[in-house]
Chains A and B, each alone.
Chain A
Amino acid sequence: MPESIKDKVAIIGMGCTNFGELWGKSVSDLMVDAAYEAYADAGIDPKDIDAAWVGNWQEVSGMAGLGLAGLRLQYKPITRVENMCATGTDALRNASYAVACGACDIALAVGAEKLKDMGYAGLISVSPGGTAGTGGITTTAPAIFAMLATRYFNRYNISPDAGKRMLSRLSVKSHHNGNLNPKAHFHKEITVEQAMNAPIIAWPLGLFDCCGVSDGSAAAIVCRAADAKKFRQDPVFIKSIRMCVGPCDGPVKPEYDFTHVEETYRAGLAAYAEAGVKNPRKEITMAEVHDCFSITEATIMEDLQFSPRGKVKEDIESGFFDLDGGLPIQPDGGLKCFGHPVGATGLRMIYEMYKQLQGKAGPRQLKNINYGLTHNQGSMPPACTIAVCIVGR
């Protein structure tokens, strides 16, 4: 058995920019803003950083370790991390392993993405170079995830109306939470009726089933757990960081059911084993998950064993995931209200867990919390890369 990372690494400082259409900020501006908030929060000087990992998805947001050059770290090892939507969490994973093994004492993880320089209202281009001319398969991200909803409704015999109502309830909840968060992109309460009647983007998903498109950055400073109290009295400890990259077989195997994401399920199992969690529904007390689309959030609840298979509808409708429910999900507003600057998202989620655990979440502050979980999904349900992180006091 490999060793667990549990309680070996502490987060001693974090920063997070406002997320949104930050027309006046470059990606380097965003990274500087997030990193300097983290330095101040940790009470360290930039020269105390021994090594850094910078997460960007797209080359327009940074290439190589040089993508972090705006911070002017002086001749330090810096590595660019790219793992699609799991990028930010993977940057933290690399920084955590580095301090845990003693290769450095203080490491910085920064994630950032600039989506709004491109003139598009969606994700920017993913072009690995020349194609074999088959790129005309016209699917957008909403459509890929909508196919999860089509099948979920079919499998559990949920009418389109009841299905859309269930999904709308998730978006209403996230908009409520985001409205309480000054760093969120969207500050607007919505109703189930508004969400259900919004224009269709990719059937059955409508406008409010889709997350926004935003710029943003978040950063974390980590050290070995034993050193944490030198920096602050309320560090947050990493209980687990696990990744699961699928073999991309869902698109070609008829066995894949399109009502769950195997990689999420397995990443959850691995993270619970590492953190020693036996009953996720009870022991995880809050979570930020990858709600790129409402149906993604619904199926994640089942894959992470917060809800039994096929039963998430009951938990959604009973308010179990609300801010005052049994297991609050997306207390900061989620991707729904923050948008999804890809490289930043994982660290943005951890920022909320960190602030909640320190009791600094303002009007969103949760009570009786212990373990907080974050979850990122890169790529489509049948073939993806998943990161799950569990943090606690």
Chain B
Amino acid sequence: MEVPILKQGHYLIASIQSALSDADLSQLREALIARVGKFRARGVIVDVTALDVMDSFAVRTLRDIAHMARLRGAETVIVGIQPEVAFAMVQLGLTLKGIVTALDLEEGLAFLDRQGQGRIDNRQGHGRIDRG
């Protein structure tokens, strides 16, 4: 099942709609990384609200997405991890260390906006013009 990826301003939003197989997760990773370049995205949000389980493969793939996107110049926020899912993840020993998470889509977007503001301020401070 393919995960729809929406473009909103400088951000890409992938909202997972149903249970995903390992192949679906890998496909999502490839699609997101390609689109970060294509749309010159500065932020990626992966909404996992609909995921009822996160196992070691899912966590590894989300980590890979965040790291690869960062190498391509975009920040990733994982949003919507459900309480039971968080509980099972901790029991499994799975962490998302170094990855930004937020309660929901709204919080995730707010984080990216703050990040972007920081970047613009920095660049202007150095007398450079922000791209885009």
**Bound pair (A, B):** no
Instruction: Show the binding face of B for A, using Cβ within 8 Å.
Output: none
Which residue numbers of A lie inside 8 Å of B, CB to CB?
Answer: none
